[in-house]
C-alpha cells in the first residue's frame, strides 16, 4: 500500500490491487490555503453525505464505492480514528475534467451575464436576477490542473476532447444526478445551487462516478428558508470561515496561526445541520 495523494481535505491510499482507501480529514481550506485549525467532525459529515448520495444515485450511474466498513479494509485503517471518515473504493481511470452543473444565476456566471456576455458557450435570452433559478440547469466543465487553478471550458470543448459519445454520456449523467438530488434536498430545506462531479472509467470502459459527490465542499448549498432572489443567499458551507478571514484581513494568508474556537464551533454546526437535513429524512 502506498499513499497515492494528499489533497486539501482527503488522504488517498493505493492498495495496488485495483482498490483505494480514501480518508476524509477535518481539514478546511479557504482562499487556496489549508487552514491550521481542524473543523470538528467535518470529515465525517462530508463522508456521510457523499456515501448517502452515492447510494441515492446508483440507479443513474455506477459509482466507485466498495465499502464504508472498516472490517473490509487493511488492518492499518481498523482503528477508531478512521471510523466514519474512510471508504474503500474501486480505482478508476479518472476523466481529467470537473463537471460543474449550475442551476442558479450566480457567481462567475452572473458576473458574465451582467456584462451581457455569454458564459462558457451559454447565452441567456430572458432576464435574470442574482440567485434566480435557471429555466434548466447547465453543464460547464473545467479542466483539472495538476498545479494552479482549473480552467473553465465549454461543453463542446470537453466533447471534442473526449469524443462526442463519452462527452454526451457525462453530460446526461451529471444533469440526471443533479436533478434527482436537487429534488431530495429541496424538500428537506436545502437548495443545491450548483455542484461539481468527477467521473472515471472502470476496467470495462464504463462510466463511473468517483471522488466526492454533493457535499458542502463541492457544492453551493443554500438554506431554503432564508432564500431570496436578488442577493447572496445564506449557505451551508465554509462561507462563515471565509467571512471571518476577510474581516480579519487574513484571506489567502499562508501564515495564519489558528481559527478561533467560536468560528470552529459555528462552522462545524453548519456542516452537521446540512448532514442532518439531507441524510436523516
What CATH number does residue 221 fall under?
A: 3.30.470.20
The pLDDT > 90 percentage for the chain reads: 88
Residue 36 lies inside a defined structural domain of this protein: no
Task: Provide the domain limits for residue 153.
Answer: 93-226
- With bands split at pLDDT 50, 70 and 90, how would you rate the model's confidence at 4? confident
Contact 90, 202 (CB under 8 A): yes
Residue 130 lies inside a defined structural domain of this protein: yes
Residue 63 lies inside a defined structural domain of this protein: no
Rounded CA-CA distance 142/212 in Å is 16
pLDDT over 80 (residue 281): no
Residue 35 lies inside a defined structural domain of this protein: no
The pLDDT > 70 percentage for the chain reads: 98
Count of alpha carbons within 13 Å of 193, Cβ hemisphere only? Answer: 25
202 phi/psi in degrees, rounded to 5: -85, -170
89-123 pLDDT per residue, tens: 999 999 999 999 999 999 999 999 999 999 999 99
pTM value? 0.93
Report the mean per-residue pLDDT for the chain.
Answer: 94
- Quote the strand ranges of 7-153, DSSP E: 10-14, 19-24, 29-30, 33-34, 62-63, 65-67, 86-90, 93-94, 97-104, 133-143, 151-152
Rounded CA-CA distance 167/193 in Å is 23
- With bands split at pLDDT 50, 70 and 90, how would you rate the model's confidence at 240? confident
- With bands split at pLDDT 50, 70 and 90, how would you rate the model's confidence at 85? very high
Predicted pLDDT of residue 146: 62
Residue 20 lies inside a defined structural domain of this protein: no
Residue 45 lies inside a defined structural domain of this protein: no
pLDDT over 70 (residue 145): no
pLDDT over 80 (residue 165): yes
In total, how many domains does the chain have? 1
The string of DSSP codes covering 123-143 is ---S---TTPEEEEEEEEEEE
Residue 163 lies inside a defined structural domain of this protein: yes
DSSP 78: -
pLDDT over 90 (residue 1): no
Residue 145 lies inside a defined structural domain of this protein: yes
Predicted pLDDT of residue 128: 96
- With bands split at pLDDT 50, 70 and 90, how would you rate the model's confidence at 147? low
Amino acid at each position: 500500500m502506498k499513499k497515492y495523494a494528499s489533497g486539501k481535505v482527503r488522504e488517498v491510499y493505493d492498495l495496488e490491487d485495483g482498490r483505494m482507501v480514501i480518508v476524509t480529514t477535518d481539514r478546511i481550506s479557504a482562499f487556496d490555503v489549508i487552514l491550521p485549525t481542524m473543523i470538528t467532525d467535518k470529515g465525517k459529515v462530508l463522508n456521510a453525505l457523499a456515501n448517502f448520495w452515492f447510494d441515492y444515485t446508483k440507479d443513474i450511474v455506477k459509482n466507485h464505492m466498495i465499502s464504508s466498513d472498516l472490517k473490509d479494509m487493511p488492518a492499518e485503517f481498523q482503528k477508531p480514528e478512521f471510523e466514519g471518515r474512510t471508504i474503500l473504493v474501486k480505482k478508476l481511470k479518472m476523466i481529467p475534467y470537473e463537471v460543474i452543473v449550475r442551476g442558479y444565476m450566480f457567481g462567475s456566471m452572473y458576473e458574465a451575464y451582467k456584462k451581457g456576455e455569454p458564459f462558457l458557450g451559454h447565452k441567456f435570452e430572458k432576464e435574470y436576477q442574482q440567485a434566480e433559478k435557471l429555466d434548466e440547469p447547465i453543464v460547464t466543465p473545467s479542466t483539472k490542473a495538476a498545479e494552479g487553478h482549473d480552467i473553465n471550458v465549454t461543453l463542446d470543448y470537453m466533447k471534442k476532447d473526449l469524443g462526442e459519445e463519452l462527452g454526451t454520456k457525462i453530460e446526461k449523467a451529471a444533469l440526471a444526478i443533479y436533478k434527482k438530488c436537487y429534488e431530495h434536498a429541496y424538500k428537506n430545506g436545502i437548495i443545491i445551487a450548483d455542484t461539481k462531479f468527477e467521473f472515471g472509467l472502470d476496467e470495462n470502459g464504463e462510466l463511473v462516478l468517483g471522488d466526492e459527490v454533493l457535499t458542502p465542499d463541492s457544492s453551493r448549498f443554500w438554506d431554503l428558508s432564508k432564500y431570496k432572489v436578488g442577493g447572496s443567499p445564506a449557505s451551508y458551507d465554509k462561507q462563515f470561515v471565509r467571512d471571518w478571514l476577510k474581516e480579519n484581513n487574513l484571506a489567502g494568508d499562508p501564515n495564519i496561526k489558528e481559527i478561533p474556537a467560536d468560528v470552529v464551533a459555528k462552522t462545524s454546526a453548519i456542516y452537521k445541520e446540512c448532514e442532518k437535513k439531507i441524510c436523516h429524512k
